Structure 1
Amino acid sequence: MASIGSSLISNSYIIICHFPPFFAKIAEDKGATVSIYGFIVGTNCLTSFLVTPFVGKNLKVISVRFAFVSEVFIGGICCLLSGFLEYFPPGGSFVVISILIRVIHAAGNAGTITSTFTYTAVEFPNSVLNSSLTRTMMNIAQFASPIVGGALHEVGGFKTTFILMGGIQTIMAFIALPFLADYDVSQYDEG
């Protein structure tokens, strides 16, 4: 589970961090100002800030496995959809669709983050090192994202980056499903 989780969380962070460096040019081409596309990019953090506590509080109802797999899937689909933003008309519809994709993607990522740390805590209850390694993988993925995305962007343009990485993440969600245990997190509420 640890390697599956690390791979998926790394891919999730690569995808989340693809958006900011490549979205600016598309947004400017669609007539969005810097403050508007800055707001669109920032909705990711705002949404995660609002949704993560809700997911964490309700994880025993949602289930760790469902939160992880469904949110990885949602992130992959949102990444795929981001690849088609260049085809939306300029103006309000482009801005609204961009915000919706970012909000849904961030809500999905909140589930992935929460369930990943839950899996790590349950699998390795006496080791802080494994939580640190999970966080380290997230940071490496955030660092690598613009590099990987830049290479893909040079090869195939804006949509290739998002369609390829979103497709990989969507497929990975289905591959991970049979390998992930589902924990009863209610036993950990008191501790």
Structure 2
Amino acid sequence: MRARNILNLTLISGCLLLAGVSLSLMSPFYPTEALTKGVTVTQSGFVIGSVFISTILFTPICGKYIELLGARNFLLVGSFIVAIGNIAFGFLSEINNSKVFFWSSILIRVIIAIGESAMTPACYALASQQLGERHQGKAISLAEACFGVGTMFGPSIGGFLYQIGGFSLPFWIAGGVLFLINMSAIICLEDKSDMYTRLEEEEGITWKQVLCAPGVGVSLFGLAFAGSAWSWYSATLEPFLDSAYGLDPAQTGLVFTAFGATYTLFTPMFGFLADKGMNGISALILGNSIIGVGLLFLGPIPPFFGISGNLWLSVLSIGVQGLGSAATYLGSLLIMMKGVKDAGLPDTEQVKTMVSSLWIVADCAGGYAGSTLGSIAYDNVGFEYGTLIEAGALVFTVLVMGSLAFSGYTTCRKPSTETQEKEKSEKRRLIQEYEKNGRTYGS
């Protein structure tokens, strides 16, 4: 691997790390700060959740039209928006009017989410180019691990910086560091797009083609449920640990890091196994199975009340879920990348970014549903029975995906070999025509 590829991958990973931090940075301290401004906890929930809704809305748009600017430029523009948005968010502490504070928070969070919707899919598309097809799993797993590290450790970082410097410091640090990475990327990040990519992009890939690719539907299904699992107890773990073990919010933050630690540790391992031939659907089924097992012992669930009262068991359960998520998240993305290729879609930035956009949307949709339904379950049936419900949902996904894998199911029929050969022949003809006449297709 060339030094330039290493530099590219480092910059891409740095952007994803800060994107993850930006996504979860405010959760430990924003509700408390908002209360001092006259903003209710429910309104704070809308502010925190607005990023998921905005990401779901804008990520597919950015993924579909990435060819207008290219993945590199989408990354640069998106990271710049996120950096400036975080810096601006830090100034909200100067606003004392509750309505102005609330609506300004919503507005800036939506702007930040738009930037993340542009930069995150572009990062995955660019990362997959750096190590070649044979090592694509390692590149994507590294990028995904960095985003996961940022997301999982964002609350701890935010809480620590908040204790040191108050409300503004976490946002100014996150925005400032990302701004510096963005400036470095402008100078150093290599643009690998060329005229052949542009020729293929002229075909105009549709969302239906991507969604109908083999394995895409089942990957989105499994990923959404996995995304709901890690957010299921995001708002309820703190009161549970407080009542069961007397932990304060800072100690609860340390418990949350068990997920991030195992997720970060095992994501590269599953990337290595994928490059060695591990089947993506196997990783997906294995991952959701492990997450389901982890949920059984988080409370633990009612049938295991006899072993309750052990903090180490809850910490171990969260760590096990991080292991399962590493397999599911990476496995689902690799299945989708392979599926669009098997469907005969061109290997372009646009297609890769549309795939990663769908992947992000499924994760965010699951995260939003999990945090909402998990809180409702806590209020109605308690923490232990609530995790039993989510564990049952994960078991359901394993049974569905296992049945589909056994039956050889794909979302849509692949193009015939003859059709694919005709398409390749036509592409070669267009490229030869371009080389001969010196003009782009369609001009």
Q: Same fold (TM over 0.5)?
A: yes
Deviation at 1:128, TM superposition (A): 2.1
Equivalent of residue 116 in structure 2, options 105, 109, 131: 109
Distance 1:76 1:25 in 2: 24
Structure 1 match to 2:133: 125
Structure 2 residue aligned with 1:140, among 137, 149, 170? Answer: 149
Q: Shift of residue 98 of structure 1?
A: 0.5
**2:50 is equivalent to residue 33 of structure 1:** no
SS in 1 for 2:26: helix
Calculate percent identity across the aligned residue pairs.
26
Distance, in Å, in 2 between the alignment partners of 1:180 and 1:10 is 17
Distance 2:82 2:143 in 1: 18
CA displacement, residues 138-170 of structure 1 (integer Å, 9 cap, x when unaligned): 111112212222221121111111112211111
Q: Which structure has the greater CA radius of gyration? A: 2
| Separation (CA, whole Å) in 2 of partners of 1:21 and 1:113 | 23
> Does residue 175 of structure 2 align to residue 166 of structure 1?
yes
> Letter of the aligned partner of 2:94 in structure 1?
Y
Structure 2 counterpart of 1:151: 160
Measured in 2, the distance between the counterparts of 1:20 and 1:44 equals: 12
Q: Which amino acid aligns with 2:163?
A: E
Paired residue for 1:54? 61
Structure 2 distance, partners of 1:133, 1:168, is 20
Taking structure 2 as the reference length, the TM-score comes to: 0.41
Q: Is the 8 A contact 2:90 2:168 kept in 1?
A: yes
Q: How many residues align?
A: 191
SS where residue 20 of structure 1 aligns?
Answer: coil
Shift of 1:89: 2.4
Structure 2 counterpart of 1:116, which letter?
C
Aligned to 2:185: 176
Q: CA deviation at 1:79?
A: 0.8
Whole-angstrom distance in 1 between the partners of 2:26 and 2:163: 15
State the TM-score, normalized to the length of structure 1.
0.92
Q: Which runs of 5+ in 1 are unaligned?
A: none
User: Which amino acid counterpart does residue 46 of structure 2 have in structure 1?
Assistant: F
Per the alignment, do residues 125 and 59 of structure 1 end up closer, same or farther by CA in structure 2, a change over 3 Å counting? farther
Higher-RCO chain (CA-CA 8 Å, sequence separation at least 6): 1
CA contact (8 A) 2:87 2:171 kept: yes
Structure 1 stretches of 4+ moved >6 Å: none
Unpaired stretches in structure 2, ≥5 consecutive residues: 1-7, 206-344, 347-443
Aligned to 1:12: 19
Q: Distance in 2 between matches of 1:6 and 1:105?
A: 18
Matches of 1:27 and 1:62, distance apart in 2: 38
Paired residues for 1:66-81 under 5 Å: 66-81=73-88
CA contact (8 A) 2:19 2:120 kept: no
State the 1:181 CA deviation. Answer: 2.5
The aligned residue for residue 221 of structure 2 is: none
